[in-house]
A = this chain, B = another copy of it.
Amino acid sequence: MLSIRLNELTASDIVRAVRHGDATCESIARACLERIAEREGAVQAWEYIDRPAVLATAKGLDQRGAQGILAGVPFGVKDIIDTADIPSEYGSPIYAGHQPKTDAACVALSRKADAVLLGKTVTTEFANRHPARTRHPLDPARTSGGSSSGSAAAVADAMVPVALGTQTTGSTIKPGSFCGVFAYRPTFGELSCAGVKQSAWSLDTLGIYARSVEDLSRYRDALLGRQRESELRSVSKPRVAFCRTHKWDEVEPSTRALFEDAALRLRKIGVDVRDVTLPTAFNEMEEAHKWISSYEFTRNYTWEIENHRDKISETLQKGRLKNGLSCSFERYSQAKLHAEQTCKMLDAIFDDYDALLTSPVVGEAPVGFSDTGNSSLCGMWTALHVPVVTIPVFRGPTNLPIGAQLIARRGNDEELFGIADSIYKILT
């Protein structure tokens, strides 16, 4: 038997242990449930857990000898994603006790790969900005970020090895950076969002949290419906663009110093890291993202607005809904056209670079729970449809995590994993 705590294993280690008979799915699930019992009062990452069902599922997998690419891996699911056997409340009192009939595709694909649904993790209201109750695992006075607040915290706190989130602005990458885990937002349009409560159809993707790049890749394989896990691609001599962006002045000086230092360290060991200044069209992407997300969100939520406006937070009403209801189709179309054109410029940049290195956040997770932190360094990339990984390589002034955001060309998710893994190993 293994000697380290089972809840601290990576998903890939769990699969190897289960396949070789070195651990049972039940023992893994019990270890995660015990960790949650111990820590949930402080962290508040979970919305719903059906403990007997979790153990029954794990035992069933042990009985039939699970061999799938997520064999015995407990996973958390952001509560904006439908589950057929436990409620899905979307972070809103409008959906209190709501029980969908069907699993979202990502949940069904996880189960098909022999993973064990551990429960639903806390989301902010409709995966928006109104903050949730989840605490930062390393500092209960701080937010874990949002909107995938619970999924990021649960993986960071060793409650589950992997969890599903979503991203429409920075909802996967930002909390991943704050909590010090690996997080991945895929190329737009590659992974099924069926059964995920839709925010904005031109922006939404799933997100994955894990404690290694290998696990991100393995979980992505499962969500693609692959029967075998891929090897991590090794990218020899990646060409990295260090991209401060026009928002660099908004980044805290201590965070800027971490990135400048990392670029130096990478160069010192021979990685090709060059400074890149983006064309000015990129400066308008934050505005474009605002109109696209607000316009689409507001149309999508017409039923809720018309029938349950009193149960929608002020944050949402005065933010995205106000913007969306005031946004004409013409303004929206212009924003989409701008994003499409900027996307082409970014494609051209990737003719010269394999990855961009940039900050996902201005600094550590903020103190307090009045908001979930600044997402403005993530939204542009979301609207440009590129794959993004954040790797936990930095510690800020109070020793809390800060991630490095790595970005690749649309469709180059597998190359991105290879680059992220090697840069992580260099920087840590």
Binds B, one of A100-108, A172-180, A257-265, A351-359: A100-108
Contacts of A298 in B (CB 8 A): 225
A69-105, CB under 8 A of B: which get 1 and which 0? Answer: 0000000000000001000000000010010011111
Q: Interface range on chain A: under 10, 10 to 19, 20 to 34, or 35 or more?
A: 35 or more
User: Which single member of B109, B198, B306, B333 contacts A194 (CB below 8 Å)?
Assistant: B198
A82 smallest CB distance to B (angstroms): 9
A112 CB-CB contact with B under 8 Å: yes
Choose among A101, A225, A304 the residue with the greatest number of B CB atoms under 10 Å from its CB: A225
Query: In the complex, are the beta carbons of B192 and A296 less than 8 A apart?
Result: yes
A302 CB-CB contact with B under 8 Å: yes
Give residues 276-313 of A contacting B (CB, 8 Å).
296, 298-304, 306-307
Given contacts A193-B201, A201-B189, A201-B194, contact A299 B329 (CB under 8 A): no
A348 CB-CB contact with B under 8 Å: no
Contacts of A300 in B (CB 8 A): 105, 192, 194
A35 CB-CB contact with B under 8 Å: no
A317 CB-CB contact with B under 8 Å: no
Query: In the complex, are the beta carbons of B329 and A224 less than 8 A apart?
Result: yes
A411 CB-CB contact with B under 8 Å: yes
Query: In the complex, are the beta carbons of A103 and B303 less than 8 A apart?
Result: yes
Query: In the complex, are the beta carbons of A102 and B303 less than 8 A apart?
Result: yes
Q: Report the bound CA distance from A236 to B377 in whole Å.
A: 46
Query: In the complex, are the beta carbons of B303 and A333 less than 8 A apart?
Result: no
Contacts of A108 in B (CB 8 A): 302-303, 306
Query: In the complex, are the beta carbons of B101 and A299 less than 8 A apart?
Result: no
A216-242, CB under 8 A of B: which get 1 and which 0? Answer: 000000001110000000000000000
A374 CB-CB contact with B under 8 Å: no
A113 smallest CB distance to B (angstroms): 10
Query: In the complex, are the beta carbons of A411 and B105 less than 8 A apart?
Result: no
Query: In the complex, are the beta carbons of B95 and A101 less than 8 A apart?
Result: yes
Query: In the complex, are the beta carbons of A299 and B411 less than 8 A apart?
Result: no
- Residue on B nearest A198 in the bound complex, by CB: B194
